[in-house]
Amino acid sequence: MRWMGKINPVFLVLILLLLAVAFLSPYFLQPAGYMNFLKRAAPIAILAVGQLYVINSGGFDLSAGALVTLTVIGSSILLNGDPSATWWVICVMLVIGAMVGVANAFVVSYLKVPSIIATLGMMITLSGIALTWSGGAPRGYLPENFRFFGRYLIKDVPLIQLLPVAVIVMIIVCGALWWLMHRTNYGKQLVAMGDNPQSARLAGVPLVRTRTIAFVVSSLSAVIAGILLGGFAGVSTDVGVGLELQAITAAVIGGAQLLGGRGTVGAAVAGALVLQTVFTLLNIFGFPKPIRDVVQGLILISAVALASFRRRNSGG
Amino acid sequence: MKLIKLMTTTAIVMSMTALSAQAQNFDDPEEFAAQKAMLESTPNGSADTPWLQYYGDTMADTSAYKKDGPYTVCFSNAGVNNPWRVVGWTTMQAEVDLHDNIKDFIVTDAEGSDDKQIADIDDLLAGGNCDALIVSPNTTAALTPAVERACEQLPVIVFDRGVNTDCPVTFIKPVGGYGFGIQSGQFIAENAPEGSDVLMLRILPGVDVLETRYSSAKRILEEAGMNIVGAEFTDGDRAKTKAIVEDYIQRNGQLGAVWMDAGATSVAAIEAFEDLGMEVPIVTGEDQQDFLQKWQADGLNTIAPTYPTYQWRTPILAALSILEGESVPGPAWNLPQPAITNENLADYVNPAMPPLHYAMCGCEKMPDYPSRWGGE
Amino acid sequence: MIAFLKRRSSFLAPVLLLAIAFGTYVGIAIATGQTQHLTAENLIGLLGRSIALGITAVGQTFVILIASIDLSVANLISVSAVLASHLMAGDPGSIFPAVLAVLLVGVVVGAVNGLVVTRLEVNPLIATLGMALILQGILSALFTNFAGEVPKEFQSFAYGEIFGVSTSLLFLIALTIAAWGFLRFTRAGSNIYSVGGNADAAKLAGIRTTRVVIMAHVLCSVCAVVAGLYLASRLGSGAPWIGRDGVYDLESIAVVVIGGTALSGGRGGVWGTLMGVMIFSLIDSIFNLAGVDAFAKQILRGVIIIGAVALYAARSRRIEA
């Protein structure tokens, strides 16, 4: 039975919650039900995995939510309804994302500002830029081929009938980030750095480069989440508000230790799904939003309390 | 365990104290009737300049404030934190530019915080430059004392949300929230199948102009025998709106109508039906371009009550009249509040404007239209 | 002695920043011909802009000194303001019990935060973020608007004056002096520095670190509750969104850090925090004087926060992620 102890409890919790949802709402067992669920979870899962990179490096990225907003608003201004511009606008937004990640890493690495303050400052700056750029209200329109990623469903797929494009994006992005974290030397260096930066440096881990990549991954994931969210519902000035906290919550539910540690990509995705399932459950019961907040708070605290309890007991 | 126990105790204590909670009255039958009467009557003044029209004939005497120009006009803004306020604020600045006898226009922005707006008003008063003060309060109760202090020093004009004092020279607003709810509520009552399911979507609680929209629409829908399946807060967020509507459709099946207390997320609500492959029922909105264009393109059957942004022109004109000693409508100045309907929709659709441009801005003939408002 | 010197040196940077902010303010007032803002009265009034932030930040200083953090203060402020005005319901006779009740809520919330951090070993960011969600959820479920009202007598907390200086400003200064005295001269105060500097060493030296952490959290929550009382007094009532709208959680952390208290704990103090608050007030007033547009303000604010903290970090070699 020792293998039981090794399985991250987040997976068991997820399965139990999913069973509960399926039991309470048969609709959830139909493809339209669970695919819709996955489509809504996709942005937060991608954000959570991006956040995980920064958390594993020993930091936080509070600027992710503001970057989501900037992506949606910026794309709509640049595109202004012109479908032929979609591809280069997506490239521009990814470049902007990469620059934000580099800037975060620069401030943390060279100016030695704690990441919580550095990315808080970045969050405020980015929302200021988004507001200034748009003049405070959304401008321009997102053409259908941009909204394709967040909105479109591929129909008549064998076995599952329909498949939202957002879910494909989620699988590709999370798959790539899983590979980078768990199958490359970079992933080992990242975790080593989060565990103990001093000894990692002595062991030859290039701290600055490792941290920079982590922040860039987080920012790129925010841009991708922004593309999905903009696609799902269109332009608004506050799409990203609070998403960074949800992403941190999801990563933490998955077992990531704040201030450095070894959370896994799979567990972070599971954490995002747990969060989404709980919201779905509360919704089925018809609980209003305030109760969702209370439950999210309780889950957050108990997930971390449980993780540190396990750590103490396993002597790690 | 301790944690859970403590939390439950706190929760119980708090819910017990809340039992006697009494909210401000947002369901006032008298005010409801008064606004209904206004909607049915004709305002004074020329229909070409609705921002100068008014109901009733009580005027405020302003001879005591007469002084020589040019003037410094000050404005304490609650914030430009939503597209409605952005359009209004742009319109107001354009209005200021039209007047040579305004030598200075000093503005503070409270970024949506009551505490900050109180400090802002005190700052403006301390500066001692203002000849007149315009206030767009962030919340009604909280800003009352600050406005009262300002009234002691100079003429004050309040607009949009009100304050709990009649010391300002005039309080400018359109007919009001009840009127908004009456227009959209009646449309649903007359056009949706009788007794059908209606979902009510609201931005956020606690803002008087939104609470009254909701209470009056709810009153009309209930009287008409509609089945209100739920009232949810969207935070004005499109993704959340779309998700909420999808959930309701999945739980209840097709809806008879979706009532919105503001139009910024109406298109998201419409898309929820489209994406699930269902026919789009009545989804009410407001005068935002994206909604009007969707309405026209898809031939929907709906209504867009408005809370016209042209009301941002009025305070500047009122300030100048007051400083010149001319009487103005007061202590309450109610502007007309037209609704956009299937009949006059074509007059307001303008694809050159940004998606959340409010068509009822009264700004079409101002200099730099449309570029100043983000149009092409 | 060394620790004391370290505290001293961390004092210079906020003074420097404050001087820069003040110089800019005076410069802009002169340049734009608004010298009427430069009277002594108005300059004192500048600090009066940010009483609620000041009270909250003094409390936040305690938890940051022990290397913890409190993200629940903004929501606790809302709880306190709403509960106080609801319980008072305009009756002067209820002031005392209402104040007592919310102070009790503050103690309970602080103790729970402290217990979760120490006993359950939950990272303080998560523990207090969770608490923030729980508080806000309960509050929003019970109240959707301004609830009750505070009696006129209670409004003298925010609007009263003693010798021409506002009561609330005097209160903030008295609170800062008390907090400074506590940290500087009491056993419990020096324990806070020891635990924040090196918890393991403090434990070995026989300090009950758990108690110290819980105490710091209780102090922080009580300050937040008092800030909520101040806001209820200033606004005449409490609404469930006032704490969140004021962004008191992140702003209080930012001013503490700008005031020279290290997020890694053990270094800094409340005078620095008070200077941080003054810097923030000055920045606000500079923006008003110069007529900076609301959106550009935000960009500048973000850059200033990063820049200010970078200024200290440049002085210390430690990497604090």
Q: Are residues B326 and B279 in the same domain?
A: no
pLDDT reading at C227 higher than 80: yes
Contacts of B80 in chain C (CB under 8 A): 294-295
**Chain C neighbours among B 21-40 (CB < 8 Å)?**
21-24
Chain C contact probe: residue of B1, B115, B147, B261 with most C CBs at under 10 A: B115
Confidence bin at A253 (pLDDT 50/70/90): confident
User: In the beta sheet, which residues pair with residue A164?
Assistant: A153
Stretch B10-28: mean pLDDT: 50
pLDDT digits (tens, 9 = 90+) for A302-314: 888 887 777 777 6
Stretch A183-201: mean pLDDT: 91
Q: Are residues B167 and B266 in the same domain?
A: no
The identity of residue B95, as a single letter, is E
Contacts of A283 in chain B (CB under 8 A): 247
Stretch A12-27: mean pLDDT: 88
The identity of residue A241, as a single letter, is V
Q: Are residues B246 and B312 in the same domain?
A: no
Residue B368 is assigned to a structural domain of this protein: no
Q: Are residues B169 and B262 in the same domain?
A: no
Q: Are residues B182 and B206 in the same domain?
A: yes
Residue B242 is assigned to a structural domain of this protein: yes
* B132, B154 Cβ separation under 8 angstroms: yes
Q: Give CA–CA dist C138/C281, Å, rounded.
A: 32
pLDDT value at position A261? 66
Q: Which of B305, B327, B351 is the last residue of a domain?
A: B305
Judge: C321–A57 Cβ closer than 8 Å, yes or no.
yes
Q: Give CA–CA dist C240/C244, Å, rounded.
A: 8
pLDDT digits (tens, 9 = 90+) for A103-159: 999 999 999 888 988 999 999 999 999 989 988 888 888 999 999 999 998 888 888
Q: Give CA–CA dist A136/A7, Å, rounded.
A: 47
Residue C320 is assigned to a structural domain of this protein: no
Residues of chain A whose beta carbon is less than 8 angstroms from a beta carbon of chain B are 27, 32-33, 36, 40, 135-141, 151, 153, 229, 232-239, 241, 283, 288-289, 298, 301
pLDDT value at position C10? 60
* Coil/strand/helix, residue C208: coil
Q: Give CA–CA dist A196/A290, Å, rounded.
A: 39
Structure ipTM over 0.85, yes or no: no
Confidence bin at C314 (pLDDT 50/70/90): low
For chain A, say whether B278 makes contact (Cβ under 8 Å): no
Question: In terms of CA atoms, which chain C residue is nearest residue A54?
Answer: C321
CATH number at residue C188: 1.10.3470
Question: In terms of CA atoms, which chain C residue is nearest residue B10?
Answer: C105
Q: Give CA–CA dist C5/C13, Å, rounded.
A: 14
Q: How far is CA B306 from CA A136, B85, B87, B89, B332, in A?
A: 20, 14, 13, 17, 19
For chain C, say whether B127 makes contact (Cβ under 8 Å): yes
pLDDT reading at B17 higher than 50: no
Residue B345 is assigned to a structural domain of this protein: no
Taking alpha carbons only, the member of A231, A191, A251 closest to residue A60 is A251
Query: Domains in chain A, ordered, with CATH?
Result: 10-307 (1.10.3470)
Q: Is the pTM of this model over 0.90?
A: no
Phi, psi of B49 (to 5 degrees): -125, 75
The identity of residue B64, as a single letter, is A
pLDDT digits (tens, 9 = 90+) for C248-297: 988 899 899 889 898 888 889 999 999 999 998 898 888 888 888 888 88
Minimal Cβ distance to A58: which of C254, C264, C321: C321
pLDDT digits (tens, 9 = 90+) for B124-179: 998 888 999 999 999 888 898 899 999 999 999 999 988 889 999 999 999 999 99
Which secondary-structure segment (H or E) carries B333?
A: strand B332-335
For residue B276, count CB atoms less than 10 angstroms from its CB and return exposed for 0-12, middle for 13-18, buried for 19 or more.
middle
* B57, B316 Cβ separation under 8 angstroms: no
Minimal Cβ distance to B205: which of C109, C144, C159: C144
Which secondary-structure segment (H or E) carries C101?
A: helix C95-118
pLDDT value at position B24? 57
- How many A/C residue pairs have CB atoms within 8 Å? 158
In this structure, the number of other CB atoms found within 10 A of the CB of residue C219 comes to 24
Q: Give CA–CA dist C83/C6, Å, rounded.
A: 41
For residue B34, count CB atoms less than 10 angstroms from its CB and return exposed for 0-12, middle for 13-18, buried for 19 or more.
middle
Judge: C133–A293 Cβ closer than 8 Å, yes or no.
yes
Q: Are residues B63 and B163 in the same domain?
A: yes
pLDDT digits (tens, 9 = 90+) for B42-98: 999 999 999 999 998 899 999 999 999 899 999 999 998 888 999 999 999 999 999
pLDDT reading at A246 higher than 50: yes
The DSSP secondary-structure symbol of A309 reads H
Question: In terms of CA atoms, which chain B residue is nearest residue C230?
Answer: B115
pLDDT reading at B13 higher than 50: no
Residue C319 is assigned to a structural domain of this protein: no
**Min distance B145 CA to chain C CA atoms (Å):** 8
Judge: A305–C299 Cβ closer than 8 Å, yes or no.
no
Taking alpha carbons only, the member of A156, C137, A17 closest to residue B11 is C137
Q: Which spans in B41-128 are helix H?
A: 83-97, 114-127
> Cα dihedral sign for B163, B166, B170, B176?
positive
**Min distance C142 CA to chain B CA atoms (Å):** 6
Chain C contact probe: residue of A107, A278, A301 with most C CBs at under 10 A: A301
Beginning with the edge strand found earlier in the chain, give each strand of the sheet holding B197-202 in spatial order: B227-233, B197-202, B257-260, B282-283
pLDDT digits (tens, 9 = 90+) for C170-199: 999 999 999 999 999 999 999 999 999 988
How much of chain A, in percent, has pLDDT values that exceed 90?
A: 56
Chain A contact probe: residue of B10, B237, B271, B358 with most A CBs at under 10 A: B237
pLDDT reading at B10 higher than 60: no
Q: Are residues B49 and B198 in the same domain?
A: no
pLDDT reading at C20 higher than 50: yes
* Coil/strand/helix, residue B199: strand
Taking alpha carbons only, the member of B280, B252, B253 closest to residue B268 is B280
CA A108 to the chain's CA centroid: 21
**Chain A neighbours among B 41-80 (CB < 8 Å)?**
80
Residue B360 is assigned to a structural domain of this protein: no
Q: Are residues B125 and B217 in the same domain?
A: no
Minimal Cβ distance to B114: which of C48, C139, C242: C242
**Min distance C78 CA to chain A CA atoms (Å):** 14
pLDDT reading at A251 higher than 70: yes
Q: Supply C137's token pair.
A: 């959820």
Contacts of C133 in chain A (CB under 8 A): 293-294, 296-297, 300
Contacts of C36 in chain B (CB under 8 A): 126-129
Judge: A128–C301 Cβ closer than 8 Å, yes or no.
yes
Q: Are residues B51 and B171 in the same domain?
A: yes
CA B296 to the chain's CA centroid: 24
Mean pLDDT of chain C: 88
Question: In terms of CA atoms, which chain B residue is nearest residue A294?
Answer: B7
* Coil/strand/helix, residue B259: strand
Contacts of B89 in chain A (CB under 8 A): 136
pLDDT digits (tens, 9 = 90+) for B251-298: 788 999 999 999 989 999 999 999 888 999 999 999 999 999 999 999
Minimal Cβ distance to A300: which of C126, C314, C321: C126
Contacts of C319 in chain A (CB under 8 A): 112, 197
Judge: A137–B82 Cβ closer than 8 Å, yes or no.
yes
pLDDT reading at B16 higher than 70: no
**Min distance C165 CA to chain A CA atoms (Å):** 34
Chain B contact probe: residue of C25, C241, C278, C301 with most B CBs at under 10 A: C241
Contacts of C263 in chain A (CB under 8 A): 114, 116-117
Mean pLDDT of chain A: 89
Sequence-distant (≥ 6) Cβ neighbours of residue A175 within 8 angstroms: none
Strands B332-335 and B132-136: unpaired
Q: How far is CA B368 from CA A97, B373, C38, C83, in A?
A: 34, 8, 38, 50
Strands B170-174 and B156-159: parallel
Judge: B268–A151 Cβ closer than 8 Å, yes or no.
no
The DSSP secondary-structure symbol of B263 reads S
Contacts of A258 in chain C (CB under 8 A): 123, 125-126
Residue B300 is assigned to a structural domain of this protein: yes
**Min distance A234 CA to chain B CA atoms (Å):** 7
Contacts of C237 in chain B (CB under 8 A): 141-142
Residue B346 is assigned to a structural domain of this protein: no
Contacts of C42 in chain B (CB under 8 A): 126
Q: Give CA–CA dist C178/C291, Å, rounded.
A: 37
Mean pLDDT of chain B: 89
Q: Supply B309's token pair.
A: 């942004």
pLDDT value at position C132? 94
Q: Give CA–CA dist C191/C186, Å, rounded.
A: 9
Q: Are residues B166 and B200 in the same domain?
A: no
Q: Give CA–CA dist A109/B122, Å, rounded.
A: 42
Contacts of B374 in chain A (CB under 8 A): 135, 137, 139
Q: Supply A274's token pair.
A: 């747990």
**Min distance C4 CA to chain B CA atoms (Å):** 37
The identity of residue B338, as a single letter, is P
Judge: A197–C319 Cβ closer than 8 Å, yes or no.
yes
Which secondary-structure segment (H or E) carries C33?
A: none
* Coil/strand/helix, residue C121: coil
Contacts of A132 in chain C (CB under 8 A): 293, 295-296, 299
Q: Supply C144's token pair.
A: 């959707």
Residue that is written with structure tokens 């430069």 in the block: C38
Q: Give CA–CA dist B10/C75, Å, rounded.
A: 15
Residue B296 is assigned to a structural domain of this protein: yes
Q: Are residues B211 and B278 in the same domain?
A: yes
Residue B262 is assigned to a structural domain of this protein: yes
Minimal Cβ distance to A112: which of C122, C293, C313: C313
The identity of residue B5, as a single letter, is K
pLDDT value at position A168? 96
Query: Which residues constitute the domain of residue C301?
Result: 2-28+41-313
Q: Supply C37's token pair.
A: 């803002």
In this structure, the number of other CB atoms found within 10 A of the CB of residue B347 comes to 10
pLDDT value at position A6? 65
Query: Which residues constitute the domain of residue B252?
Result: 177-305
CATH number at residue B331: 3.40.50.2300
Could you give the number of structural domains in chain C?
1
Could you give the number of structural domains in chain B?
2
Taking alpha carbons only, the member of A126, A28, A138, A18 closest to residue A73 is A138
Chain C contact probe: residue of B15, B73, B123 with most C CBs at under 10 A: B123
Pairwise pLDDT comparison (A141 vs A177), residue with the higher score: A177
pLDDT reading at B4 higher than 50: no
